[in-house]
Amino acid sequence: MLLVFLLGFILLGLPSIVIGIIAFVEFILYLVKSDEEFEQTYIVGSKPWF
């Protein structure tokens, strides 16, 4: 039972945690950008979101 739990956590839990951390970092980066910098980077420069 412990082995099944550990395999499930490794296969399902860890990727979710990694994706959550990446999303949180991106959120912070978008949050601290000024409006002018955001517009220059993502609207004028046509940079993809991620």
Q: What is the mean pLDDT of each run of 10 residues along the chain (50 residues)?
A: 83 85 92 89 73
pLDDT, position 21: 93
pLDDT, position 48: 67
Go through the chain and tell me how many residues it has: 50
The answer to whether the CB of 49 falls within 8 A of the CB of 42 is yes
pLDDT, position 49: 61
pLDDT, position 50: 58
**Is the Cα torsion angle 39, 40, 41, 43 positive or negative in sign?**
positive
